Structure 1
Amino acid sequence: MMLFTDQLQCPSSFPWRFANIVSSQDVVISILFSNEVLESHPNDITQECKIQLSQYFKKTLIDFQLPLAEANSPFFKTVHAELIKIPLGATTTYKEIAEKISSAKKARAVGLACASNKISIVVPCHRVLNATHQLNGYAGGLPTKAWLLEHEKHF
């Protein structure tokens, strides 16, 4: 499978310099953060993702409309589908997601599904908090999670 890449310069107040986008010919595979400049090999998918992320950072995009790679297990796929339903500016907990997908005792498994998410921002695992509604675990780091939540309050 051929992979395509592109890089978006993030706002100066964001904890990372770049959002690195990887796609196949058909779907976005990952959006991960970096401080390093990477060589770009874009395609239509990475370019559209870059446009939509830029609009998100400028507060002009509420809903992403991108073809996304599916999670690697049926459970993770279900969790990621539920994450996409969390409205901009809202938060929920791992337990609440577990209850919504009829797996009330699987809050930890929901946490693992969030941790496995490689499509940052678009699959908004940053909107999920722990049982006491506090920030915890985020692949991009807690300062990034806090920044994203604060950013989304002001749309």
Structure 2
Amino acid sequence: MDVTDPLALEHQVCFALAVASRAVVAAYRPVLEPLGLSHPQYLVMLALWERDGQSLKDLSATLHLEPATASPLVKRLEAVGLVVRERSPHDERALTISLTDTGRALREEAVQVPATMLERLGMSLEELEGANTFLHRLIASAQQASDPVPTRSTPA
């Protein structure tokens, strides 16, 4: 490994994150299949189990997704009877996403997913908690770094 090459693929955090993300999502697939959920759908359900009755806008923000990306996920969950989409009585343009009884009941089956994944990944709880803490710091730093650079106004 050439530590002097700043462009070496194995030195790129973006590469490691992309590969890790694909690998972790693939490890979730067989665990989520019996629940009838894809990984993105599982994330939507986690957000709704935490706080039911969210607007599509709030749900999208929670998941760090554009509403146009979250909307098809919600539609698929509605098609299988796990959620309902309703127009807000306060704002005709806003959609409220709520769990159905079936969606709430699915939580009881999903409660085993974290322990199953801990076992599948072969890592300790402390290791995964540390990784999660680090990744949340990295997300915050990356979001801050992606903010537009303020432009200087030229005095008249």
TM-score by length of 1: 0.30
Task: Identify, as 1 or 2, the structure richer in strand.
Answer: 1
Task: Identify, as 1 or 2, the structure richer in helix.
Answer: 2
Q: Which has the higher contact order (CA 8 A, sep 6+)?
A: 1
